Chain A
């Protein structure tokens, strides 16, 4: 049942793209031939002199709570292709969109469909960690490369690692370790820790607490809120004041991030106990919903529109011109996924998973990313993190960069 809508969605989306400006070249003849005769007859199309087509399955949520992330990811993907004439590494790109939905129940079948029915060469995307982990076996068995453009579970490139699964985004705990060390180094302690009660929340809390305590900080208290069903955080806010904490650290995203930041201000906590968080707390569309309540909130993340480098300035300008919106880390992660594939496909001997994977491993530094230079380390980015603070900008609220927190690899 969940398979059918995703197919329809992808077809409608592909048709829309075709009409919009020719990012996608959906040629049934071209891709049909590739799977049978192509590999034997043609010599390796390394650097493909305009001959070959690469079929990419873009797995993004098109329904459910993560839809805004899916929009940003699609924008990032399309922007890179637009800037590169619809080509990656000399191959003409045919993008097939698979609807990830909210969780593995819709996401995993969508990925299997892209692998089996659409016969894609490469997969890109995936917001939800459970979906990424659920699809790991199918991807490895199919021997196709998957570049994860969001999902941050440690296991994806940790204990469940596969030579075919790469990540252009972050690891949950990697995002907050820099902040934990910053708080401890600046004697901002004790800290109250709060996150939603699910896998990612738990990972972040563990990662933060371990790094914070190791650096000499003290945790004043901790609360895990029911995930997805908590609209009112008041019951969890009162204990913060009584705990003696001088700062609060939280990990929330989406609707919960909006409610939390607003209520943290409304119950008078923001004035006395500053709020710190994982960058997703104030990233993208949630800022508009939070409004003035978000001003002064400090977070750590691997991206901000305000990072001062030429690549970022050009990227932000191009993105705004194309979509009339500020880019988010989700857009950058997918933009960078396209970037690394562009480089790897130019070097790879052919479109097999092994060849692309080898090429990805040999890439070295990605020096032209909007987030600043980064490189793969353990198939996931080793990158700079930034301390950001929400301020009122010219066109609304922005995450200004307060400080460079240094380069971090996955913990």
Chain B
């Protein structure tokens, strides 16, 4: 009975992990930036979209490791730079309400999305998976795209890397200290703005890299930025602000909700994502791993 159930739903479960991996790479930056630096960055989705178009630029015509690798490198670089610009732009708004930041970053997001639409047109563009991964493989007798299997591995590696940096290094300690008490860190003589610059840069780079990695699944198209931004925000709210573990678990939960949940109860598919969000907000308003609200 249970074996049958697994057999039927194995592909959905596997797929939930693949989507969850991608969501983690996308959302972890948003979570840290918002949780730590108190910057609500609504341009996060636009960075993903920029990454997706870089994927098309370098890996749109043919399937090659060089093209895909170049796209990943370019996305990381563009993300870093964009994060720096965003950090500078939001600096004057640091002491103002979140709404001001939201408006500024939303404006940036709209401008970036429009510029991308002007340069690349409004059609859905394709990003090719690298050779070897652009085929389907048999998993327990079911056909499954090899690229999505690889994505699960990449997501895990990035999760471990981010966790190691934040939990095991001095820089990470600084980041965690800033999440806990920003003013105290500042009083110790650390320039908050530099920490913010670094964190926003790294978070934005991850978002753009997620755009390239998501390319072979979702392609590159106008409107994708809003879709992924909403998913990332849901992941962050469910996981809890500023928590890597939270972003990881949140992403896996949403991955399964979007995949296994939809397969099991297709009639509730539209409702399920926000249903899960509502449930978490009622039971644990700070998210599954959210820190206690400071002050």
Contact = CB atoms under 8 A, between A and B. Distances in A.
B263 A289 contact: no
B55 interface: no
Contacts of B136: 266-268
Contact of A286 (B9, B123, B142): B123
Interface of A is mostly: helix
Contact of A234 (B12, B125, B219, B270): B12
Nearest to A70: B122
A407 B261 CA distance: 43
Contacts of A269: 143
A67 B222 CA distance: 10
A337 B221 CA distance: 30
Q: B interface, by DSSP: helix, strand, loop or mixed? A: helix
B266 A223 contact: yes
Contacts of B269: 225-226, 230, 235
B223 A242 contact: no
B145 interface: yes
Nearest to A266: B145
Contacts of A288: 123, 125-126
B218 interface: yes
Contacts of B273: 229
B11 interface: yes
Contacts of B42: none
Given A65-B222, A255-B219, A236 B123 contact: no
Interface string A212-253: 000000000001111001111011101100100000000000
Contacts of A290: 126
A236 B143 contact: no
B108 interface: no
Contacts of B158: none
B259 interface: yes
A409 interface: no
A232 B219 contact: no
A41 to B, nearest CB: 46
Contact of A239 (B117, B122, B124, B263): B263
Contacts of A229: 227, 270, 273
B202 interface: no
B75 interface: no
A285 interface: yes
A289 B143 contact: no
B122 A68 contact: yes
A280 B5 CA distance: 36
Contacts of A268: 136, 142-144
A254 interface: yes
A71 B123 CA distance: 11
Contacts of B106: none
Contacts of B262: 235-236
Given A68-B123, A226-B270, A267-B11, A232 B222 contact: no
A254 B124 CA distance: 7
Given A255-B221, A259-B218, A234 B259 contact: yes
B285 to A, nearest CB: 25
Nearest to A66: B122
Contacts of A255: 124, 219, 221, 223-224
Contacts of A289: 123-126, 219, 221
Contacts, number: 103
B212 interface: no
A289 B219 CA distance: 8
Interface string B113-134: 0000100011111100000000
A97 interface: no
Contacts of A291: 126
B122 A235 contact: no
B270 to A, nearest CB: 4
A197 interface: yes
Contacts of A236: 262-263, 266
A232 B11 contact: no
B104 interface: no
B57 to A, nearest CB: 15
Contacts of A235: 12, 15, 258-263, 266, 269
Given A226-B270, A267-B143, A289-B219, A234 B15 contact: yes
A226 B79 CA distance: 31
A391 B206 CA distance: 38
Nearest to B135: A266
B19 interface: yes
A175 B3 CA distance: 43
B123 A232 contact: no
Contacts of B218: 231-232, 259
Interface in A271-290: 285-286, 288-290
Contact of A267 (B145, B221, B258, B260): B145
Contacts of B142: 268
B82 interface: no
Interface in B160-174: none
A332 interface: no
A267 B123 CA distance: 24
A285 B217 contact: no
A262 B168 CA distance: 41
A262 to B, nearest CB: 8
A65 B121 CA distance: 11
A234 B11 contact: yes
17 contacts: A64-B222, A65-B223, A68-B122, A226-B270, A235-B12, A235-B15, A235-B262, A235-B269, A239-B263, A254-B124, A259-B219, A262-B126, A266-B145, A268-B142, A288-B126, A289-B123, A289-B125
Given A225-B269, A235-B269, A238-B11, 20 more contacts: A64-B223, A65-B223, A197-B270, A224-B266, A230-B269, A231-B217, A231-B224, A232-B259, A235-B15, A235-B258, A235-B262, A236-B263, A255-B124, A266-B136, A266-B145, A285-B124, A286-B124, A288-B125, A288-B126, A289-B124
Interface of B: 8-9, 11-12, 15, 19, 117, 121-126, 136, 142-145, 217-219, 221-224, 227, 258-263, 266, 269-270, 273
Question: Which 5 A-B residue pairs are closest in the complex by CB-CB distance?
Answer: A268-B143, A285-B123, A235-B262, A235-B263, A226-B270
